[in-house]
Amino acid sequence: MSYHARSLFTRAAGIALLATLFGGVAFVAPTQAPALYLDDEVIPGKPLTNGGIEWMDIHRQNVVHRVYLLAGQQATFYWSSDDPALNCDIELFGPSANDFTATELGSSSNPGNADEQIVYFVPSSGWYYLRVEREWDAGNSVLRCNTTWPVPRTPATPQRVSGRDRYETAVEIARQNFPGWRNVKHVIICSGEDRAAADPLSASGLAWAYGAPVFLVKSTGTPDCVVEALHEISAQNRPFALHIVGGPNSVTPAAMADIDPIVLGVIYDRIAPYNDRYTLAASVARRMSAERDRNTYSYSTTGYGIVLVANGEDPSKFFDALALSPVCATTGWPILLVRKNSIPAPTQQAMDDLDLTWRLVAGGPNTVSDAVIAQLDPDAITLATRISGNDRYETAAAVMNFFNALWGVPPLDPANVGVTAKLPDALTGGSTIGLRRGCLLLTRTSSLPWASASFLGHYTEETGRAYVFGGPNSVDADAIDAIQDALDP
């Protein structure tokens, strides 16, 4: 079942109805139930997309935005308007805030002035929340968040984030990004099976839209580590929405049966249609557009709607989609999938319907053919740009370098780098590092490829830490030492 909460049912009615329809989960919503969907006016709010907000919705008076900041950064929040008489107040709240009774970390209120600014030195990493209060229906405005590293730092030892398998690794990655599961109102689950590896890569866009952790399940059931995490999230944030990416052949009835009787306070939302990986990726792109109106958020730098394109046909080529996943989770630009030699109809239709006319393609001609590039760039209205290297390592580094140099978009944060060797370990790592506006690189199991080492070395003065996704069988001690050497030559 797919839905939009505001149009199909009220929150209270939705809770009762879906609890009845899905698995018999029974619970009573609290009188002051937290928002089940990202509400403009409550924590955790909307994402403060990398690049900022170009044209804020003039019909909203109070809006809350979230942004992930790292310890040691200096964050500057800047608001301005094209109407010099428009009054606005901005207030910054910290990771411990559940609502606005918490003490604000900073504020700016200049009556009669169309410019507001908060400069904040970040003491600890986590999600921060910016509340924007302004006059009703009084002109357009722009919101920005820029981060710098004012204090020189010594790169730390790479931090391994892993579990006994891909399922535990995904949970550990999520725990690091959402300490104590604070303000987690949405969770995304996908298949962790190799045959469905494209699903969690497409789901990076939902991580952006909902600010949500991504978990993996088996076809035979939901791993205990995932059930435990969902139970903890339910206890902390009941009720919450569970977004299911993939049809019953991917996220099976057996997996759902393990969740239903244990995790209370869940509202189920299966992203549809999900006929195949191409249709599913297009469905995610449409959901992103519906949840985050593209006229409100900065989707592009030159007036184009931007889409990220990768091969979805060959699992050995999924590393290119993986390289795009942090960009998707940072910017809100969706990932759509193509075949090597053709564009599936659902992909083409989504690009046309959503007016995604600047098509950034990851991978060389052996991954996405020149003929497909030509189809993606048929006339002066659209533009296709290939980003690639000689192998997966060079392509991932090229993707990161491209977006760091893209005009008009603040660069990804090279102080926050994820490194991985095997796709199962990084299925959720790309979206997680992207929520922090960070970069993702690839390595071999026992050695660091030149392209990855060069990227790390180029940003040595700015890089504080690399996170290694996966255990020693994925990235061993020799590769860890090489990453450390590249960070601090």
Domain spans of the chain, in order of start:
1-33+183-274, 46-148
The string of pLDDT tens digits covering residues 276-288 is: 999 999 999 999 8
The string of pLDDT tens digits covering residues 427-446 is: 899 999 988 888 999 999 99
pLDDT of residue 296: 47
Q: Which residue has the tokens 């909460």?
A: 5
Q: The whole model's pTM is what?
A: 0.87
Higher-pLDDT residue of 257, 407: 257
Q: Which residue has the tokens 């968040």?
A: 145
Q: Which two tokens stand for residue 295?
A: 């006229």
pLDDT at 2 over 50: no
CA-wise closest residue to 361 among 373, 350, 378, 351: 373
pLDDT of residue 54: 58
Amino acid, res. 160: R
pLDDT at 110 over 90: no
Residues 65-79, mean pLDDT to the nearest whole number: 89
Higher-pLDDT residue of 45, 370: 370
In angstroms, what is the C-alpha Rg of the chain? 21
pLDDT at 34 over 70: no
pLDDT of residue 4: 30
Higher-pLDDT residue of 485, 462: 485
Residues 81-107, mean pLDDT to the nearest whole number: 88
CA-wise closest residue to 26 among 238, 264, 187, 246: 264
Residues 8-37, mean pLDDT to the nearest whole number: 32
pLDDT of residue 144: 83
CA-wise closest residue to 464 among 16, 59, 45, 72: 72
448 exposed, middle or buried (CB, 10 Å; 0-12, 13-18, 19+)? Answer: buried
pLDDT at 230 over 60: yes
Q: What is the 3-state secondary structure (H, E, C) of 131-162?
A: EEEECCCCCCEEEEEEEECCCCCCCCCCEEEC
Pick the range with the lowest mean pLDDT from 34-43, 84-93, 172-181, 191-200: 34-43
pLDDT of residue 225: 97
Dump strand ranges (E) for 41-122: 46-47, 62-69, 74-81, 88-93, 106-109, 115-121
The string of pLDDT tens digits covering residues 374-428 is: 999 988 778 999 999 999 999 999 999 998 887 666 667 777 889 999 888 888 9
Residues 199-205, mean pLDDT to the nearest whole number: 91
| CA–CA–CA angle 144, 148, 151 (5° rounding) | 155
pLDDT of residue 261: 80
pLDDT at 153 over 60: yes
Q: Which residue has the tokens 């052949």?
A: 249
pLDDT of residue 123: 94
Higher-pLDDT residue of 17, 119: 119
Residues 41-61, mean pLDDT to the nearest whole number: 69
Q: At residue 189, what are phi and psi to the nearest 5 degrees? A: -125, 140
pLDDT of residue 16: 34
216/56 Cα distance (integer angstroms): 35
pLDDT of residue 104: 94
pLDDT of residue 233: 94
Q: Which two tokens stand for residue 374?
A: 């030509």
pLDDT of residue 139: 61
Per-residue pLDDT band for 29 (boundaries 50, 70, 90) equals very low
Within 10 angstroms of residue 224's Cβ, the number of other Cβ atoms is 11
The string of pLDDT tens digits covering residues 304-342 is: 688 999 999 999 999 999 999 999 998 888 999 999 999
Higher-pLDDT residue of 299, 243: 243
Average pLDDT, the chain: 83
Residues 108-133, mean pLDDT to the nearest whole number: 90
Q: Which CATH class is domain 46-148?
A: mainly beta
Task: Indicate the Cα dihedral angle 160, 51, 363, 349, nearest 10°.
Answer: 120
Percentage of the chain modeled with pLDDT above 70 = 82
The string of pLDDT tens digits covering residues 36-50 is: 455 668 888 888 765
